[in-house]
Structure 1
Amino acid sequence: MYRSLLSLALASTACLSTPALAADPITYQQAAPQQGAAQPRVVYDEPPRWTGFYAGVHAGLGFVDSWDNVDGLLEDEQSFLGGVHAGGSLQMSNIVLGVEGDASLTNFTRPRVRATSLEISMPWTASVRGRVGYAFGHLVVYGTGGLAVAGVETVSATASATDTRYGHVLGAGVEWGLTRHLALGGEFLRYDFSKEDLTLGASFQSEHSQDVLRARLSFRY
């Protein structure tokens, strides 16, 4: 009896201990640090490239010298002007070459002061110009020149005429790249238009020039 109980106890102990001995040991591993984690991106304030097409608006003041063979010379008559411009440019190193066209509406009118005088107005001007500039990062300084065109209306005591005057324009300006697409600038332009002979019941001659100071805002594509 005693031997039977001892054998049963030993058998039970063996059965209980066998799974524990057979079980795989439990191990713990520390997670490896992630490789190639994203680094913070550094954004540099790069100057704009001046190559490409652009379009914009401008506004300013014109100072007109108007001469005719009836009333003589009227100097520095002020007029407001505003309009649009468009062009394209190519940057090579720091040199910026371009071509630009513009058109402006003006409110210049030289009133008739006596019965034999002429009333002269210049409702619009336009130009096609070349540009040569030098870029200093965000800033470009340029000279410009080309063909100028203007509409002139002349009224005498008995008749009126509208004609187109041709001439040339020269000037200089600066532009500052606010962003890669927006540029703010200012420029001075000198327009000189040809002398014309008019017949308005009698023969007249007139000649005009204009100095323009204007601000401009351009969007670059």
Structure 2
Amino acid sequence: MIKKLLLASAATALTTVAASAADLPRRAAPPPVFAPVPVFTWTGAYFGINAGYAFDASSRNTGSAFGVPAPFAAPGTIAVFRNRSQDGFSGGGQVGYNFQFTPGSGVVVGIEADAQYLDFGRNRNSAFIAGGLAPGYYVTDPRGLSSLDFFGTVRGRLGYAFDRTLVYGTGGFAYGSGSADRSFGGYAGNDSFRTGYAVGGGIEYALPTDSFLNFFRSSAVTLKVEGLYVNLDRGTRNQGALVVNAANLLPVAFSPVGRRDDEFAVVRAGLNYKFGSY
């Protein structure tokens, strides 16, 4: 009997404690932690490669008639040069830095330098000879764009970013050089370093960080399409048609005035690896 009373008392006590605990206020669960989604920014340094197509953008006609003087030709011999298409492959690399004022969408400023190979074709401007050249001589016209072997630029960039898409304009210093006449190894008087300017624009898109193209584990891989107009001043050096001695590949006569500028356009695609802020 006493045992039953003790068991009943213990059960009553446990029920009372449980009821009291149920009446106590419960501890609130901690709020969920939300990790902010990183906002993309174009700020950072980058390097990359590009390839494209370059073509003559000059409005001037480079065709001309050249009276070949004696004793290098029969009296009255005239060489008439015709225009040839000046275009070809262009490729190289670039490095630069961008700064975006507001992450996400906003104004982006930057600077970029690039160096490019040019192949406008190794064939010189052909000529129609009215008369006869003396044996051992030929004429050539070094004024075409095929005299350029390479060019480069140092340009500022100004654009607006729509998240991962950047639309920009660009402009700045340009330079270039090359053999004025590859057909005889490049005469020293015409193998000149030229300077000028370049202007253009483009559009660039940033791929996700985990893109399969991200070999260097950069903060972003970007793809761009860009167009440039390049104008290189050739000054007032003698750059007209030349009469060349085929034996020693040296010019023996030339017309006094040549083309003053090299003007060409480049349309290219590029791939960049950006390092810095995400």
Range into which the TM-score falls when normalised by the shorter chain:
0.7 to 0.9
Answer yes or no: is 1:51 the counterpart of 2:74.
no
2:113 partner amino acid: G
Matched residue SS, 1:61: strand
Answer yes or no: is 1:142 the counterpart of 2:168.
yes
Aligned counterpart in structure 1 of residue 52 of structure 2, from 46, 60, 68: 60
Q: Deviations over 1:44-88 (max 9, x none)?
A: 473x21112111111111112574766667465221111100111
Q: Distance in 1 between matches of 2:44 and 2:180?
A: 41
Judge conservation of contact 2:148–2:180 (CA < 8 Å) in 1.
no
Distance 1:159 1:107, change over 3 A: closer
Judge conservation of contact 2:179–2:185 (CA < 8 Å) in 1.
no
Q: Distance in 1 between matches of 2:116 and 2:182?
A: 26
Structure 2 counterpart of 1:10? none
Aligned counterpart in structure 2 of residue 130 of structure 1, from 135, 147, 156: 156
Matched residue SS, 1:160: coil
Query: Number of paired residues?
Result: 205
- Of 125-134 and 56-65, more deviation after overlay is shown by 56-65
Q: How does 1:10-159 map to 2 (within 5 A)?
A: 35-36=29-30, 44=37, 46=39, 48-65=40-57, 67=62, 74=83, 77-93=86-102, 94-109=106-121, 111-112=123-124, 113-114=126-127, 115-118=138-141, 120-155=146-181
Aligned counterpart in structure 1 of residue 229 of structure 2, from 170, 187, 190: 190
Distance 1:167 1:181, change over 3 A: same
Q: Distance in 2 between matches of 1:38 and 1:211?
A: 56
Structure 1 counterpart of 2:271? 217
- Of 103-112 and 77-86, more deviation after overlay is shown by 103-112
Q: Percent same amino acid at aligned positions? A: 28
Distance 1:141 1:73, change over 3 A: farther
Q: Distance in 1 between matches of 2:44 and 2:184?
A: 51
Structure 2 counterpart of 1:9? none
- Deviation, 1:163, is 1.7
Report the TM-score, using the length of structure 1 for normalisation. 0.73
Judge conservation of contact 1:139–1:176 (CA < 8 Å) in 2.
yes
What residue ranges of structure 1 are gaps of 5+ in the alignment? 1-16
- Deviation, 1:118, is 2.8
Structure with greater strand percent: 1
Distance 1:156 1:50, change over 3 A: closer
Q: Distance in 1 between matches of 2:183 and 2:85?
A: 25
Judge conservation of contact 2:81–2:141 (CA < 8 Å) in 1.
no
- Structure whose alpha-carbon radius of gyration is higher: 1
Distance 1:78 1:159, change over 3 A: closer
Q: Deviations over 1:132-159 (max 9, x none)?
A: 1111111111111111111121228767
Judge conservation of contact 2:158–2:170 (CA < 8 Å) in 1.
yes
Distance 1:130 1:75, change over 3 A: farther
Q: Distance in 2 between matches of 1:156 and 1:104?
A: 19
Task: Give me the CA root mean square deviation.
Answer: 3.6
Judge conservation of contact 1:87–1:99 (CA < 8 Å) in 2.
yes
1:95 partner amino acid: V
